[in-house]
Amino acid sequence: MIDRFQYNIGVPAEDLAKYCHGGYHPVHLNDLLCDGRYRILDKLGFGSFSTVWLARDEVKEIYVSIKIVVAEQSHNHNGELQILQTITRTGDTTHPGHKHVSHLIDSFYHEGPNGRHLCMVLELLGPKISSVVNRRPNYRLDGRLARRISSQLLLGVDYIRSCGVTHGDIHLGNVLFRVSGLNRIPTFDDSRIGKVSRKDGAPSEKGVPEYLVEPVEYKFDKSEILDEIQLVDFGESFLIGNPPKSICTPTSLHPPELVFRHPLTEVVDIWNLGCTTYELVTGRTLFEAWMDDRELVPQFQKVLGGVPDQWIQDALKTGEDIQASYANGYDKETLDLDEEDLTTLGSYLRRMCIVEPTQRANLTELMSHPWVQVDKGTQKEQ
């Protein structure tokens, strides 16, 4: 692995040290992939195991997203690819949750200086919810919009469950807006390119890109409607019949069975759906932990109570905690959910955030809950 401290970089981007054998593929703007079919136009994001790019499909003449996986994870049995293929193969396209889940369009392998890389082509989406709320005055969505999106997220989870898949990593960073206007690509800014060079003037090591690109910031005019989402990133997903021993998801969202090292099942999605819904509506996390999930244990005891089967029930029974989280510190004119709405939300969350996994609500029960059913009526009125 190279020493990134020996390099000048210039822009915030992925870890340069991972541009080595088995690591990232060095991508440059206007690169062509898959025998010239896909032209790289801009960077959308990056993670520990991949970079994600805006590209143009020169055959279909559409814009797409391409996720380029690090070489060491690009084996023929890549878990995320298998999950996406399973969803494509078994999913019912008439299911209402189908449009709220990211789908595989194409996949191929690309040979580069750092190895052989799996490339997954997906629908081009808009910004993450987490990015949008960070630019809002109150750092959260309008209450009615948050409620509508929470319903869509439930539909998406129900859809992948019908395919025998557990997502395993539901959080606001993995929920993206669908945007109608993406036939126009984001405006590119040359200042987002950072030339890569060694501080001692020597040539860069093999596999290091000439420059890094800072991910694009989406900018939309007031006519753009952001009201529909997709659940993305199946890197931690698993088949219901073959659960892993552990999953990597944000520490504050670790379900109790992961914290206490109990067997994982598909209902980890129910816990994370509850925590994410709470954050989506209130703008605050239900629990907080940084690197060590043991930090969550005293919070479980403090926030949820002391008796295991009553932990979340007692805390959310009256809805007072939710009302406080929703209202405290916000301008009154921005509070578009009333006490009845928040009491309904509390009832919904109580069925998901239960410490004992076998006692959590099933998806059929959640789909018929007033929090979701009332929202369907609200959508029709708007």
At residue 309, the pLDDT reads: 45
Tokens of 300: 């479980």
At residue 164, the pLDDT reads: 98
Q: Is residue 281 within 8 Å of 149, Cβ to Cβ? A: no
Q: Is residue 2 within 8 Å of 20, Cβ to Cβ? A: yes
Cα separation, 250 vs 259, whole angstroms: 12
At residue 303, the pLDDT reads: 56
At residue 220, the pLDDT reads: 61
Catalytic option among 42, 57, 169, 375: 169
Entry pTM = 0.87
Active site residue 169: yes
The β-bridge partners of 56 are 39, 63
At residue 316, the pLDDT reads: 52
Identify the three-state secondary structure at position 197: strand
Identify the three-state secondary structure at position 117: strand
Cα separation, 221 vs 8, whole angstroms: 35
Instruction: For the chain, list residues with pLDDT below 50.
Output: 307-312, 315, 375, 377-382
At residue 111, the pLDDT reads: 98
Closest CA to 328 of 136, 131, 138: 138
At residue 210, the pLDDT reads: 96
At residue 289, the pLDDT reads: 76
Identify the three-state secondary structure at position 3: coil
The β-bridge partners of 45 are 52
Residue 286 exposure: Cα atoms within 13 Å on the Cβ side: 30
Q: Is residue 157 within 8 Å of 231, Cβ to Cβ? A: yes
